Amino acid sequence: MFRLFQVAYELALNNLRAKRERTILTLSSVTLAVIITILLVSLSDRAITSMKHSFFARDVDIYCFPPQVPIELGPITISSASEYIPMDMIDQLERDEYLLPFEPHVTGVQKMIVTYRGYNLPLVVLQLEKLRYFYPKALKYETILKPGTLSDSEVSLGVAVIGNKVAKMFSLTEGGDILLLNQRFIIAKILPPLGSYEDYTIFLDLDSTKIFQVKGLHQLWISFGVPVKTRMKDIMDYLRKNYPAYKFYSSQQLMNAQLGSAKALRLLQFAIALIGILIAFTATTNTMLISTYERIREFGILLALGAPRFMVFMSIMMEGILVSFLGGTLGVILGLVSMYAFEYSLRSLFRFAFPLTGISTTTFIDIIFIIFGLGAFSSLVPAYIASSLHVARALRWE
């Protein structure tokens, strides 16, 4: 059996060498399809991966939004709404008699993009003294604004918490300061690596929003001090009934909704990439069919000499798989190089400090399977034709 596969492989390789120009054209179509797929999918794949990491890094039980819920693609928030949540909503929820037994911690949140040293960074404004409740893994429930740790002059400057990547990019240290929008902020804490967009984020205290002239809050985060998993449905029903002017989502509901937007974008990108894949599939199938009909007499001679039909079948299959493997491998290498070049171009153009492209291991494996599937399926019909030839007719083929 091994000898049979070896002969089939040698036949496939010899034919690819003999038809070099045609092989190069087919390889080019497969390579181009893989490059386009990687480039398009890398945008949504980075957004989906980082969004998941952000949700897992936070410990938020319930999110509260104005009637028009914004779309969040990683650190970029898209919203056409003019509604805001009033500041007094924070105290109202924390003092709500129904919620009190669950020890609610509520903070207002505003998200925006701010420019620092020529780069655009995500900026999150919230109550820093409550940050430990919403990022317990990063802060170990450490209090950021400890009484007596900052002087009156430092407090008047404002306080900032910096993501790990931001600190490394700009050589920032705890106890130092950072200038944002013409105001200096003391760096009270540098977060440990979280593997999400928080690594590229600057956190400011909600009291500092005066300098931004903010009309209200974009959203509220609610975290409970006691486990509420079994009571979550009751709490959500209560909030929606007693605060009908706002939208409430559990962490899982919001993650599904936000990831749904990113996955819709990913589906569109896959649809566009599918055009290139279909072109490559058509080119490979066409090449295999032409090659098969040109070699019918050769296959007839092989069959007449006693070669197994399965060997003929496998020689065609291996030819298609070899083309797809070589073109796919080259496409993956050039696709990754193109992705990094695309990343560099986007970041240079828009001056974003955070990464915009990336390929997860799962997506990479999916692309590899598509490549081999392309070669196998494009060779099935030609392989069947070659292996089912009538020997006498094949020998008379002109």
**Residue 277 has what pLDDT?**
78
| pLDDT, tens digit, 9 for 90 and up, residues 38-49 | 888 887 788 777
What's the whole-number average pLDDT of the chain? 82
Looking at per-residue confidence, does 373 or 238 come out higher? 238
- Residue 250 to residue 237: CA distance in whole angstroms: 11
253 to each of 34, 230, 256, 257, 259, how far by Cα in Å? 34, 16, 5, 6, 10
Q: Rounded to an integer, what distance in angstroms lies between the CA atom of residue 165 and that of residue 194?
A: 10
Q: What is the pLDDT of residue 337?
A: 92
Q: Residue 12's pLDDT is what? A: 78
pLDDT tens string 269-322? 777 777 777 777 787 888 888 888 888 888 888 888 888 888 888 888 888 888
Radius of gyration of the chain (CA): 30
CA-based torsion, 9, 11, 17, 22: positive or negative: negative
> Tens of pLDDT along 77-116?
666 556 788 888 999 999 999 999 999 999 998 888 888 9
Per-residue pLDDT band at 76 (split at 50, 70, 90): low
Beta bridge partners of 126: 205
Query: Does residue 239 have a pLDDT over 90?
Result: yes
- What tens digit of pLDDT does each residue of 209-233 get? 555 556 678 889 999 999 988 899 9
Angle between helices 309-350 and 296-304 (to 10 degrees): 140
What residues does 120 pair with on adjacent strands? 115, 352
High-pLDDT (> 70) share of the chain, %: 87
Q: Do 253 and 261 touch, CB atoms closer than 8 A?
A: no
Task: Describe the chain by its helix, strand, coil percentages, rounded to 5.
Answer: 60, 15, 25
How far is it, in rounded angstroms, from Cα 114 to Cα 77? 13
Strands 119-126 and 104-116: antiparallel
In the numeric block, which tokens belong to residue 150? Answer: 């900052």
- pLDDT classification of 147: cutoffs 50, 70, 90: very low
pLDDT band with cut points at 50, 70 and 90 for residue 152: very low
**pLDDT for 194 beyond 80:** yes
- Token pair of 221, please? 């985060």
User: 377 pLDDT exceeds 70?
Assistant: yes
Residues 6+ apart with CB under 8 A from 350: 120
CB-based burial label for 336 (10 Å; 0-12, 13-18, 19+): middle
d(C-alpha 374, C-alpha 277), whole Å: 8
| pTM as predicted | 0.77
Is residue 55 over pLDDT 60? yes
pLDDT of 363 > 50? The answer is yes
DSSP per residue, 101-128: GG-EEEEEEEEEEEEETTEEEEEEEE-G
Instruction: Examine the pLDDT at 171 and tell me if it is beyond 90.
Output: yes
Residue pair 185/157 in contact (Cβ under 8 Å)? The answer is: yes
Beta strand extents in the chain (DSSP E only): 62-65, 71-73, 76-78, 104-116, 119-126, 159-162, 177-180, 183-190, 202-205, 219-224, 247-250
- The angle that helices 251-294 and 361-387 make with each other, rounded to 10 degrees, is 30
List, in order, residues 6 or more apart from 368 with CB less than 8 Å away.
Answer: 328, 332
Predicted confidence at residue 150, as pLDDT, reads 47
Q: Are 358 and 42 in contact (CB under 8 A)?
A: yes
